[in-house]
Homo-oligomer: A and B are copies of this chain.
Amino acid sequence: MSGNSKQQIIVAAGITFERYGFKKTTMDDIAYAAGKGKSSLYYYFKNKEEVFEAVVAYEAENLVNEINTAISGSSSAVEKLKSYMSVRMKRFVKRGNLATALNDNFLATFSFIEKIRDNYRGFEIELIAGIINEGIEKKEFKAVNAAFTAELILTGMIGFEVPLLTKSTTFEESVAKINSGIEMFFYGICT
């Protein structure tokens, strides 16, 4: 059963990467956390970067589910967009792999981060644009260009992440900033 062991490794690696960051995590650490020998990792992954890539992909998938759950709870487009942004940004701050990846100078240059980001971006743009269109129909939002506005919001969120990551604040402070930041986002777009 390749699926089981591989999954085990990905989960163990996720915990370890989150704790120590990419650079400080050794293949031995991951193997130990997964309860396997180091060289077994190389049966499933080519190298450390590939393990990290798998972890990030796995967590991105989880994030999608979390977002869908959060969205399904609310009926108005405003609430949907708010809960989407809240989940998305809190998750970004708390679960540290993507955060670490961007924070770490060592990883900033890694091209696969950009790749994953780009892949994921498409999904996000579509999601946001869909909500905006719904909001326009319901007259909650102005009649803007949905796709363009979605790009704008996503860009804004990403831009907003940077000071949250570079400034070393507590999680609670970050959440407070996120919430007030999200509120600000809606002043310009609501009818």
Name A residues whose Cβ lies closer than 8 Å to a Cβ of B: 20, 24
Which chain B residues border A24 with CB–CB below 8 Å?
A: 20, 24
A24 and B24 alpha carbons, distance in the complex (Å) = 7
A20 and B18 alpha carbons, distance in the complex (Å) = 11
A74 and B24 alpha carbons, distance in the complex (Å) = 44
Which chain B residues border A20 with CB–CB below 8 Å?
A: 20, 24
Smallest beta-carbon distance A14→chain B, Å: 14
A20 and B20 alpha carbons, distance in the complex (Å) = 6
Smallest beta-carbon distance A25→chain B, Å: 9
In chain B, what residue has the closest Cβ to A24?
B24
